[in-house]
Amino acid sequence: MPKYPVNPAVVIAAREELGLDRESAAALLKISPEYLSELESGSRQPDLSLVRRMASKYRVSLAALFMPAPLLPFQKPRDFRTVGGEAPGLSADTLLAIRTASELQEIASDLVAEAPDLHEPQELPEPSLSDDASQLAATERARLSVSVEDQLSWPTASDAFRYWRWRIESLGILVFLIRMPRADCRAFSLWRERALIPTIVINGVEVDQAKSFSLFHEYAHLLLRRPGMCNERERDVDEARLERFCNRFAAHLLMPEQAVREALRLTPPVGRPGDWTIDELAKVARRLWVSRPALALRLEEMGLAQSGFYDWVDANLGAEIWSGRIPGGGRLKHHERRLRQFGGEFTSIVLGALQKGIVDPVGVDEVLGTTSRHLPALESSLEAQRQRYAALG
């Protein structure tokens, strides 16, 4: 069987960029650590099947494995997940998610550079941490044109998240859903102003209510021009202040006082705040399509729940993970999964570039991870989404 002379330096760099040691990488490639060591030393060469597997698992092109030098490492977002002043490590899946998002961001930016009419960004405000996060949330919610009546009328959490996402994408922001270990992060944002399109990446394993909160948390990061990666771990003083601002912004945008009071009027829990059951809280949260912990925190802030209510709710809830099923049964179709993953803005840029002849169908297939036979359904779903949400405001 023919052997292929991959560059050992590229093989090592691709493995290390994903934070993999030799044993973990060998298991991923389904070879022995000794075999991988020989490949990385250059004393052994892989067959075509292994070359393809290396490209797939390391998420690099086949051509990259034969280049004379490794590619420049991708730009990681600033890590706000510090514990005791140091950032914890990231899993290979999360590093892969960051690289994938960075590549998609660059692809979209390159296509827009060739055809600016593919993308119509709006100028984003530039607040500071000294500004009032709740007032900024009110201003931005008004700019997004989402009324309390609209929010209370959405039938499912999935509808709510899709509409919020569509409104954020209408500002010229890319929003991707990529699965990562929940312990690593819930979301991150990427942006180098005047160079690349601002991008938000939401952890695809979260339920839609949590995705909506993460969406606006990361949107606040972009407004502050401080994109990065965060979760709920301890941070230093400056980063804690930043995270509190972003959390407050997201909570007030999703749950303005008028909306919370109306939801409570429509679904009044039994007993005093703090004595409510998790199920009673869930009924109110479903009115607004927000997570139960987020609503509990907002109720405390508004003086509508006793101190410690959020901590009690958080302690009595397990992690909620999205199953990939459509509410009411069934699973998403192939083109629906792709549109959900890439979002309307990115999909629109890529399909628009295809129509203009900037990319060919093969290039579109590679970027969107689909095949030509699925493109008509993808285009139809994108257009249906535009019409549906345009009709909502």
For residue 161, the model assigns a pLDDT of 94
Highest mean pLDDT among 82-86, 360-364, 389-393: 360-364
114-164, pLDDT tens digit by residue? 999 999 999 999 999 999 999 999 999 999 999 999 999 999 999 999 999
31-62, pLDDT tens digit by residue? 999 999 999 999 999 988 898 888 888 877 77
Report the candidate in 261, 253, 245, 255 with the shortest Cα–Cα distance to residue 295. 255
- The residues near 295 (Cβ < 8 Å, ≥ 6 apart) are 255, 260, 281, 284, 285, 288
Rounded CA-CA distance 321/93 in Å is 17
More confident residue, 238 or 102: 102
Domain residue ranges in the chain: 8-66, 92-254
Please indicate, yes or no, whether the overall pTM of this predicted structure exceeds 0.85.
Answer: no
Cβ–Cβ under 8 Å, residues 241 and 129: yes
227-241, pLDDT tens digit by residue? 987 655 545 667 788
Span 8-66 CATH architecture: Orthogonal Bundle (1.10)
Q: Which tokens belong to 309?
A: 């209510």
Is the pLDDT assigned to residue 86 strictly greater than 70?
no
List the Cα angle 259/265/269 in 5-degree steps. 110
Q: Given the structure tokens 């998790």, which residue do they identify?
A: 278
For residue 103, the model assigns a pLDDT of 84
Rounded CA-CA distance 37/57 in Å is 17
- The residues near 196 (Cβ < 8 Å, ≥ 6 apart) are 105, 106, 109, 190
Highest mean pLDDT among 69-83, 188-202, 231-245: 188-202
201-210, pLDDT tens digit by residue? 999 988 899 9
